[in-house]
Structure 1
Amino acid sequence: MLIIPIKEGENIDRALKRYKRKFDRTGTKRQLQERKQFNKPSVVFRVKIQKAQYVQSLRDAENL
């Protein structure tokens, strides 16, 4: 649970903005989305390899 202390005289919109920013940085939303559906370990590994190949191709293209 995220706790955002509100200072006296602080606008509620600013506090809400801080809450949203903190929520995004903690990765809670991403974690909830991952838990919605089970992915086989082989599929997770394959996606990880594909991402690594893509990043490597970008780095190779940058060096040329």
Structure 2
Amino acid sequence: MNENPHPTRQLEEAPVHDQFDVTLEDADLLGEVELTTNLIIAASESDEHLEAEEIDRILGVVPSPREDG
């Protein structure tokens, strides 16, 4: 009988983490990503800097009423 005292080990392949495979399950985070994406798209399509009012519109910011006093 010819037994090898050091049998060849089969190496298990560890799963490789894909840094680009990101699963987002946080609703707030997903909302922030969407807002940021919308700003990036608007900025890339504009020839000029975006005005504060345009940024507010994209972000859905509603200006608070001014109190005259």
Q: Which has the larger radius of gyration?
A: 2
TM-score, normalised relative to structure 1: 0.36
